[in-house]
């Protein structure tokens, strides 16, 4: 082998080894999003240059994964002292100036448009997969539980109960389990249905005296998925029939997966025996996505839709649509429609106009920065101190209040809150939130403080 070839082998092998290890450290979806189309262009005197498909990935790898990448590379080859990232395509030695995200999408050949057909038997929509489900602190427990269930239906957690607000990925996750099981074991019988459909099925079958026939459909199902189970509230007859279907499947170790907009104990007019069944397995919530994950979702969706928008446009959307992932998608669709009509992607100004109706005035929205600012101002301490690790009594107290607001107003996940405040553990965040929430019940002056700070947060 000539030295040149062995050098090439070297860097490629190195990158392959890195990718193999990264896969164990991060989720499948994040791996697919951030490490697809990456490679190494050169390895010289301790410096490794990694190519990434666009600026967006570059920033992401630099800010979020550089430590991990460096650690793994350094373990593989002690001589490596530095990792740099360059926009370009792997294999291109001679790269021009950085591409914008949009350029990058044009440059990289796109996948064929996939057509999604809903399976008539299972009601599963193949568009919902684990591969295109982005994970962040707000949904990682739900995703991990769903993944575990997909790996061993009927034995990991039964039932699996996922709850969370509108448009946050419950249906996506439920269907992803179904699709994953169907892919792995095609002969398994899977059924996805909404609780409304289930209810009307029961009611019709009662009318037509076909209840037994209706129930027979569920007899030999391996994975039963019922979405939005909160709608069973108050429907006694349906609950009764569902109870029998549930037991029958459960006893045969068949997997049951449910979703709801609230936890079982908060569903009104739900029979106690059903509630206790729901609570007998795994309950996982999906809270609100943090900014980073919202950006990751926008990026992944643009790729899916084969459109590319400038980073500032994506950032504008991500920082202004804070709650609902479906709305994030809606915003992208508007911009995509513009791009199609005008043959060019909208710039930030155009995007702002296009999204005027979708995005409320940002002034009305809270965010972690406003919360920290308002809390610091109220207690007359420095913002930096709240975010730091100081253990001074009054600072610890303000920090707890700030943590409380992040949870209360933004529904941030506890791991996210912990990390935000001096890289603390999620248990610290849980403790802070519980402490303040409990005190609010009995301490009137704290209630007053909280409401004053809140006013301030929404005024900023
Ligand atoms: P829900 O059932 O909670 O109301 P959906 O599952 O219908 O929400 O999600 C709304 C939209 O957002 C869907 O198009 C879904 O694919 C998308 N979505 C939600 N969460 C994610 C995620 N984590 N990654 C990628 N797409 C997501
Ligand atoms: Mg849904």
Q: pLDDT tens, 37-90?
A: 888 888 888 889 998 877 667 877 887 889 899 998 888 888 889 999 887 755
Q: Tokens 């990264």 — which residue? A: 22
**Side-by-side strand order, sheet with 160-164:** 190-194, 223-227, 255-260, 160-164, 282-286
Residue nearest to atom 21 of ligand 1 (CA): 169
Q: What pLDDT is attached to residue 107?
A: 32
User: DSSP code of 407?
Assistant: H
Mean pLDDT by 10 residues, the chain (460 residues): 44 84 76 80 86 77 87 88 80 36 35 64 94 92 95 93 92 98 96 94 93 92 96 92 95 96 86 94 91 92 89 93 88 89 91 81 74 89 91 93 94 92 92 94 81 76
CA of 146 to the centre of ligand 1 (A): 14
Q: Rounded to the nearest 5°, which phi and psi values hold at 368?
A: -55, -35
**DSSP calls for 267-332:** -TT--HHHHHHHTTSEEEEE-PPPHHHHHHHHHHHHHHHT----HHHHHHHHHH--S-HHHHHHHH
CA of 169 to the centre of ligand 2 (A): 7
CA of 123 to the centre of ligand 2 (A): 14
Name the closest ligand to CA 128: 1
CA of 321 to the centre of ligand 1 (A): 14
Locate the ligand 1 atom nearest the alpha carbon of residue 128 and give its number.
16
Specify whether the CB–CB gap between 319 and 369 falls below 8 A.
no
Residue list, CB under 5 A from ion ligand 2? 170-171
Q: What pLDDT is attached to residue 105?
A: 36
CA of 163 to the centre of ligand 2 (A): 10
Over its C-alpha atoms, the chain yields an Rg (Å, rounded) of 25
Locate the ligand 1 atom nearest the alpha carbon of residue 173 and give its number.
6
Which of 172, 173, 231 best tests ligand 1's pocket when mutated (most atoms within 8 Å of CB)? 172
Cα distances from 259 to residues 222, 232, 285, in angstroms, run: 18, 12, 10
Q: Which structure tokens are listed for 432?
A: 């802070």
Name the closest ligand to CA 331: 1
Q: What pLDDT is attached to residue 114?
A: 46
CA of 277 to the centre of ligand 1 (A): 26
Name the closest ligand to CA 330: 1
Residues with CB under 6 A from ligand 1: 132-134, 139, 164, 166-172, 297, 325-326, 329
Q: Which of 172, 168, 174 is nearest to 153 (CA)?
A: 174
Length of the chain: 460
- Three-state DSSP state, 263: coil
Q: Which structure tokens are listed for 322?
A: 């804070």
Q: Which structure tokens are listed for 168?
A: 């946050």
Name the closest ligand to CA 227: 2
CA of 241 to the centre of ligand 1 (A): 30
Which of 170, 192, 325 best tests ligand 1's pocket when mutated (most atoms within 8 Å of CB)? 325
* Structural element, H or E, at residue 363: none
């Amino acid at each position: 082998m000539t030295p040149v070839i062995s050098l090439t082998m070297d860097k490629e092998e190195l990158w392959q080894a890195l990718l193999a290890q990264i896969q164990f450290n991060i989720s499948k979806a994040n791996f697919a999003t951030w490490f697809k189309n990456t490679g190494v262009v050169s390895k010289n005197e301790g410096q490794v240059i990694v190519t990434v498909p666009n600026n967006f990935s570059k920033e992401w790898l630099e800010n979020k994964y550089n430590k991990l990448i460096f650690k793994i590379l350094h373990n593989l080859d002690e001589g490596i002292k530095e990792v740099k990232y360059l926009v370009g395509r792997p294999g291109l030695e001679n790269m021009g100036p950085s591409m914008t995200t949009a350029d990058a999408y044009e440059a990289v050949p796109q996948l064929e448009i996939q057509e999604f057909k809903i399976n008539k038997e299972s009601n599963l929509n193949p568009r919902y997969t684990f591969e295109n489900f982005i994970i962040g602190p707000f949904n990682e427990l739900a995703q991990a539980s769903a993944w575990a269930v997909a790996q061993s239906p009927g034995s990991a957690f039964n039932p699996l109960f996922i709850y969370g607000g509108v448009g946050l990925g419950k249906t996506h996750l439920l269907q992803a389990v179904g699709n994953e099981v169907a892919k792995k074991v095609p002969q398994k019988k899977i059924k996805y249905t909404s609780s409304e459909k289930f209810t009307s099925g029961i009611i019709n079958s009662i009318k037509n005296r076909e209840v037994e026939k209706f129930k027979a459909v569920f007899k030999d199902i391996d994975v039963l998925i019922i979405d939005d189970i909160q709608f069973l509230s108050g429907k006694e007859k349906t609950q009764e029939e569902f109870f029998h279907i549930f037991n029958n499947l459960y006893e045969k170790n068949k997997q049951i997966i449910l979703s709801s907009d609230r936890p079982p104990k908060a569903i009104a007019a739900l029979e106690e025996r059903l509630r206790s069944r729901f609570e007998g397995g795994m309950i996982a919530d999906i809270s609100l996505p943090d900014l980073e994950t919202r950006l990751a979702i926008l990026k992944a969706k643009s790729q899916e839709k084969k459109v590319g928008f400038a980073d500032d446009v994506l950032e504008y959307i991500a920082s202004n649509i804070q709650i609902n992932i479906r709305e994030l998608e809606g915003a992208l669709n508007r911009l995509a429609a513009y791009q199609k009509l005008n043959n060019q992607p909208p710039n930030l100004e155009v995007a702002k106009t296009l999204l005027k109706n979708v995005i409320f005035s940002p002034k009305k929205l809270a965010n972690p920065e406003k919360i920290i600012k308002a809390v610091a101002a109220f207690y007359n301490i420095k913002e930096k101190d709240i975010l730091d690790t100081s253990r001074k009594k009054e600072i610890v107290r303000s920090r707890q209040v700030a943590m409380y607001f992040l949870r209360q107003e933004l529904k941030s996940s506890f791991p996210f809150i912990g990390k935000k405040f001096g890289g603390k553990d999620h248990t610290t965040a849980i403790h802070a939130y519980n402490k303040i929430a409990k005190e609010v019940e009995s301490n009137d002056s704290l209630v007053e403080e909280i409401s004053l700070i809140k006013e301030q947060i929404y005024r900023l």
